[in-house]
Amino acid sequence: MEWLKSIAPNLVAYSKNFIESCEQTFQMLLLSGIISFAIGLLLGVILTITKKDGIKPNAVIFHVLDIIVSFFRAIPFLILLIFLIPLTRSVVGTAIGVKGAILPLVFGCVPFFTRQVQAALAGVDPGKVEAAKSMGSGTVGIIFRVYLHEAVPDLIRVTVITAISLIGLTTMAGAVGAGGIGAFAINFGQGLNHTDIIYVCVALLLIIVVLLQGIGDALAKNTTNKTLVNKKYK
Amino acid sequence: MIEIRNLNKTFKDKNGEVVAVKDVNLKINDGEIYGIIGYSGAGKSTLIRLLNLLEKPDSGYISINGQVIYDSEGETLKGRELNLARKGIGMIFQSFNLLDRSNVYDNIAYPLKYTGKSKEEITSRVKELLELIGLEDKINAYPSQLSGGQKQRVAIARALASNPSVLLSDEATSALDPDATESILNLLQELNEKLHLTIVIITHEMSVIKRICERVSVMENGEVVEEGDVYQIFANPQQPITKKFINSASPVGKLEQLLKDNAITYDNEKGKLVKLTFGKDSVGDAIISEISRKFNVNLNIVLANVDNLREGTLGNMVAVISGEEEKVKETIEYLESNFVRVEVIK
Ligand SMILES: Nc1ncnc2c1ncn2[C@@H]1O[C@H](COP(=O)(O)OP(=O)(O)OP(=O)(O)O)[C@@H](O)[C@H]1O
Ligand SMILES: [Mg+2]
């Protein structure tokens, strides 16, 4: 503690705010991450199967979704944050704080993740899909037993990439009232001119990113051409 | 029996239309190994993929074991019924198409899972299949740990898991080395005999047809241009493309190249270059020494080859017969009367 006080006195002074902002960032990441993962995966799968040579081609669904995803992907996140304020207010009752940040974060994250999921699923050899069809698998069977099953390492990779970009988005959301580490760095670091706070925030974010990347890489490596936990049949 | 009538399939894209399958009619008998040969782009894959509706025909009729798979004038299978019918039609591919993240057990069990079978039933069936393909010790291996030949064996086991009566093979040996090719062809023949499995084999290699097929279709530009018994086709090919395929699989096929290079020299005045085909009814080698004695001619063998087809052996020989003109003529007549087919080349 003494040591920390000597190198980052301001951080120690505002330690309560610091811990609170860490919690806020964590909440934003977890909540918007889980929601975005579910929606993005769903949209990625739908786009994959409804495209022209997909297993359930449907031009209308494909094009409508494709345009919506491209639209939200094209809007810079800061603009999106402002653009979505009325919607956020009407849905969750407030546009500030963690609660108000979830919706714009999901909107900012889903289009990006959807495209990443599409790319991951496009990496599944169409021959495998064909073989599954020839064995009598239906649409649901092919989605779960071929597409999602074979794409696991790539899905892990793109989830990590998306999670890291989501961390970036939460700090931006912080700038407009969501709280979190980003807001803490701006208000207490830059605003009060405490550079030690800025450095600690940067270091903390760096550690989170490196950790995420490391875990993701290890998981992806251990699921390539095998299951994570090897099954043994006798 | 697989029955195909007036089957058509045209692909349309921005570059225009490609007639991939054109008015094909075929009957493939139960328990038969049937070959379809043709060059790249002939429409072989399209034809075989039409059989289990991986590709939708434009018109025609397909039935397998009495079940109508497709009929442009009537009912066509779709949805759940189609999926069920596909379980009765196994298929293997050039690129194996195994699930890379599943081990051998799970790959073979793929068609068995979610069908209401108990774990024990699935396990015993998988083991049965592993024994059939001789890979019991690879039960926990992943595809990345197997050789091409072993992968194809697993793919065969997987295709047979739900006890289909028909196996469709699209260039299943094209990615394999000669040894692995041989062992896969052996396995297919064994399965055909043991399980009375009807096998439709697509290939661009005549050696594959020669090795295991009973009947064959030759495809060119979407059409079946020649069809019949493999032995008959080898003994007496009609279409130029068929002859080309047969030559590709036989040393005697080198003849044209040798003639072009002037590598065969003989006295044009006194000799005739002939191609002899010895069928299973011909007497065999003895006749060669017999004619030299009988007609006082010289027989100089340029190229020779014996093929072991399923129905019997077939010999081919290119030789120069030289001697008195009258005697050479008599020799040829004598050979023909002994069921040797004689083609005078020059
Ligand atoms: N999905 C498709 N869309 C458009 N054209 C296609 C399609 N599939 C096949 N074709 C065309 O149909 C023709 C027959 O193709 P097919 O794959 O059946 O040939 P093949 O005899 O199997 O050749 P190969 O030995 O190279 O596999 C080719 O001209 C090909 O370009
Ligand atoms: Mg092909």
Percent of chain A predicted with pLDDT > 90? 53
Predicted confidence band at A165 (pLDDT cuts at 50, 70, 90)? very high
Rounded to an integer, the average pLDDT of B299-321 is 82
Model confidence at B284: pLDDT above 70: no
Instruction: Report the CATH number of the B251-344 domain.
Output: 3.30.70.260
CA distances for B187 relative to A206, B231, B285, angstroms: 57, 22, 33
The residues spanned by each domain of chain B are: 2-241, 251-344
CATH number (3.40.50.1370, 3.40.50.300, 1.10.3720.10, 3.20.20.70) of A2-233 reads 1.10.3720.10
Q: What is the pLDDT of residue A223?
A: 92
Which of A128, A149, A233 minimises the CB distance to B97?
A128
For B169-191, write each residue's pLDDT tens digit. 999 999 889 999 999 999 999 99
Predicted confidence band at B151 (pLDDT cuts at 50, 70, 90)? very high
Distance B49 CA to ligand 2 centre (A): 10
Name A53's Cβ contacts closer than 8 Å, sequence gap at least 6: A126
Structure tokens at A35: 């929601």
Distance CA A203, CA A29 (A): 18
Distance CA A231, CA B142 (A): 11
User: Taking CB atoms and an 8 Å cutoff, what residues of chain A touch B69?
Assistant: none
For B102-135, write each residue's pLDDT tens digit. 999 999 999 999 988 899 999 999 999 999 899 9
Between residues B89 and B259, which one has the greater pLDDT? B89
What is the residue whose two structure tokens read 């926990």?
A: B140
Q: What is the pLDDT of residue A4?
A: 73
Model confidence at A233: pLDDT above 90: no
Rounded to an integer, the average pLDDT of B156-162 is 94
* Ligand 1 in reach of B11 Cβ (< 6 A): yes
User: Taking CB atoms and an 8 Å cutoff, what residues of chain B touch A219?
Assistant: none
Residue A179: what residue type?
A: G
Model confidence at B153: pLDDT above 90: yes
Among A101-110, A170-179, B85-94, B154-163, whose mean pLDDT is lowest?
A: A170-179
CATH number (3.40.50.10240, 3.40.30.10, 1.10.3720.10, 3.40.50.300) of B2-241 reads 3.40.50.300
| Ligand approaching nearest to the C-alpha of B43 | 1
Model confidence at A190: pLDDT above 80: no
For A52-94, write each residue's pLDDT tens digit. 999 999 999 999 999 999 999 999 988 888 888 888 888 888 8
* Residue A17: Cβ-neighbour burial (10 angstroms; 0-12, 13-18, 19+): middle
Distance CA B252, CA B206 (A): 14
Distance B204 CA to ligand 1 centre (A): 14
Percent of chain A predicted with pLDDT > 70? 100
Distance CA A177, CA A97 (A): 6
Predicted confidence band at B336 (pLDDT cuts at 50, 70, 90)? confident
Model confidence at B283: pLDDT above 60: no
Reported for A207-213, long-range contacts at CB under 8 A and 24+ positions apart, including other chains, are: A208/A167, A209/A164, A209/A167, A212/A160, A212/A163, A212/A164, A213/A160, A213/A164
Percent of chain B predicted with pLDDT > 90? 53
Q: What is the pLDDT of residue B80?
A: 87
B143 vs A230: CB contact, 8 Å cut-off?
A: no
Model confidence at B311: pLDDT above 80: no
For B227-257, write each residue's pLDDT tens digit. 999 888 888 888 888 888 888 777 777 777 7
Q: What is the pLDDT of residue A90?
A: 87
Q: Kindly provide the ipTM of the predicted complex, given to two decimals.
A: 0.86
Predicted confidence band at B314 (pLDDT cuts at 50, 70, 90)? confident
Q: What is the pLDDT of residue B86?
A: 94
Predicted confidence band at B267 (pLDDT cuts at 50, 70, 90)? low
Q: What is the pLDDT of residue B268?
A: 67
| DSSP H helices in B58-177 | 79-86, 104-109, 119-133, 148-160
Cβ count near A111 (within 10 Å): 22
For B193-236, write each residue's pLDDT tens digit. 999 999 999 999 888 898 899 999 999 999 999 999 988 888 88
Which of B102, B106, B110 minimises the CB distance to A135?
B110
Name A3's Cβ contacts closer than 8 Å, sequence gap at least 6: none
Select from A121, A129, A134, A148 the residue whose CB has the most chain B CBs within 10 Å, as the one to mutate to test that interface: A134
Q: What is the pLDDT of residue B243?
A: 85
Q: What is the pLDDT of residue A116?
A: 96
Which of B83, B103, B126 minimises the CB distance to A136?
B83
Distance B21 CA to ligand 1 centre (A): 9
Model confidence at B75: pLDDT above 70: yes
By the CB < 8 Å criterion, does A123 face chain B?
Answer: no
Q: What is the pLDDT of residue B297?
A: 84
Structure tokens at B117: 């079978």
